[in-house]
Structure 1
């Protein structure tokens, strides 16, 4: 059984339909790339999974449980950790306070998170608002890990960051894949970095799943058609 399954999911913003037919299946321990050009429904799909948007059709299940009637906080407690687009750290809380705000029992604690991102230990008592963009992204990832999820969703986790920080975050994602049994859903555009960690890929176009399969089967022709500028 898949850990996360979306079947023919539709979502609308009022009278405007955003997702028309999104389907995907992610197994425990897998890393999946969710891809597509800007505005094709990737973040909307993530919001639907986390129940921050109502689903108007189709089904979303996590570990066999239907998510359609659950509020977002219940979905999080099932074991879905989200690193949202734009980071959204609590600006007036310290690094440590951000990390413990939503912490749940499990192997991921302050010590382990700061082992993955040592800079957070150095900034422990610093307000999140005073961190650099890269440090805020590390904090957002660390905060999600502190919930001890079975599925970690990262929505554009490296967008707009300096190259050296991007490398740190991709290295952390590789570590998570190598050393944990966590499933990871990655929304990103970088084929090179995704190719180093992703097992499978799903491509969206205009709110529909148009391709899915093993990442290594993603040809230049397919990526040029659905992902390239």
Structure 2
């Protein structure tokens, strides 16, 4: 069963059009990789889904309910948890307070987050702005999980992190997949992204140009739409 479905999304920033027809879907328990070069519409697609930049055209639904016209907090309440690019933790709150601020009733609790990311248990009383970049990223993922989402969206979750921290983040994504959480993920490291993805969607200039299984991602597609 499809959880998130988007078809023909067109999104603008003022008078400038950024998306010209994005089609994607995420099924229950599925990991979908949203791919494309920088500036091709990946983050705008995520912002459109989350109500931060509402699309002006196209259809967008989640768990059978239309997302068109919903404010971001209403989208979140339906069960979409966002880990935004750049982390954006609350700097003047502690780790514990950041997690509490996002908490909704469900399976994800402080204890479970600290089990997934033991480093956060060690930093529980520290303010977010005193954490390393990797620890802040763990906190951003943990905060999104505290909303107890049906779909987790990760926008460049490992960008700029040290290799050992990147491995921690990818390990957590694999664990979440094993638990059956649906995930939409944007990341540039295809060596880590493709093994965890069930399907891939490729964007070019704000349009979906290819979708399919990771093993079907040919060298031609990679060179044409993903190469630097």
Q: How many angstroms apart in 2 are the aligned matches of 1:63 and 1:151?
A: 10
Aligned to 2:214: 215
Provide the C-alpha distance between the structure 2 equivalents of 1:196 and 1:23, rounded to a whole number of angstroms.
Answer: 22
**Contact 2:54–2:69 (CA under 8 A) maintained in structure 1:** no
The secondary structure found in structure 1 opposite 2:2 is: coil
Cα shift at 1:2: 1.2
1:4 aligns with 2:4: yes
Q: 1:182-193 to 2 correspondence within 5 Å?
A: 182-193=181-192
Instruction: Give the total of aligned pairs.
Output: 228
Deviation, structure 1 residue 114? 0.6
Write the mapping of 1:51-90 to structure 2, written as runs, cut at 5 A: 51-90=51-90
Q: Deviations over 1:134-173 (max 9, x none)?
A: 0000000000000000000000000000001001100110
Give the match for residue 127 of structure 1.
127
Alpha-carbon distance in 1 for matches of 2:168, 2:69: 38
- Correspondence for 1:28: 28
SS of aligned partner of 2:108: coil
CA RMSD of aligned residues (A): 0.7
1:144 counterpart residue number: 144
Deviation at 1:86, TM superposition (A): 0.3
In the alignment, what sits opposite 2:104? Answer: 104
2:194 and 2:34 mapped to 1: Cα distance? 12
Shift in Å at residue 57 of structure 1?
A: 0.4
Q: CA deviation at 1:190?
A: 1.2
| Offset at residue 69 of structure 1 (A) | 1.7
Question: Which runs of 5 or more residues in structure 1 are unaligned?
Answer: none
Q: Could you tell me the TM-score, scaled by structure 1's length?
A: 0.98
2: CA distance, partners of 1:174 / 1:95: 23
Cα distance, 1:226 vs structure 2: 0.4
TM-score by length of 2: 0.99
Where does 1:42-57 land on structure 2 (aligned, <5 Å)? 42-57=42-57
Q: Secondary structure at the match of 2:102?
A: coil
More displaced 10-residue stretch of structure 1: 27-36 or 189-198: 189-198
Displacement of 1:102 in angstroms is 1.3
1:172 — aligned with what? 172
Specify the alignment match of 1:154 in structure 2. Answer: 154
C-alpha separation in 1, matches of 2:177 and 2:10: 30
Deviations 1:64-118 (A, max 9, x none): 1110021110100000000000000000000000001010011110000110000
- Separation (CA, whole Å) in 1 of partners of 2:92 and 2:155: 23
